[in-house]
Amino acid sequence: MAAASAVMAKKMGRPKTSVRNDVSIKFDKTLAGKARLIAQGRGMPMAEYLSEAVRPIIDRDYAKLMRELEGEAN
């Protein structure tokens, strides 16, 4: 009986397949389909394609938000 209690439980969920810190999000189905085709054509994961596509927009908006919040704090 001691050997049975020493067995570790299996981890649930999908195995990690990326070095990125990916999360699941809701995204427009039509755009997701287009993004998937583009990513496949470029030989890259869809998450990587979308991350690269939106990174400049998010970085710009984040920097703007931080400046606004910093101005409110002063």
> Would you say the C-alpha torsion 45, 40, 25, 63 has a positive or negative sign?
positive
Q: What's the predicted TM-score (pTM) here?
A: 0.67
CA angle centred on 23, ends 22 and 28, rounded to 5°: 115
Average pLDDT over residues 10-24: 74
| Tens digits of residue pLDDT in 30-73 | 999 999 999 999 999 999 999 999 999 999 999 999 999 998 88
| 35 and 10 Cβ atoms separated by less than 8 Å | no
Cα 21 to Cα 2, 61, 67, distances in angstroms: 38, 20, 26
Each domain of the chain, given as residue ranges in start order, spans 25-74
Q: Give the residue carrying structure tokens 């067995």.
A: 7
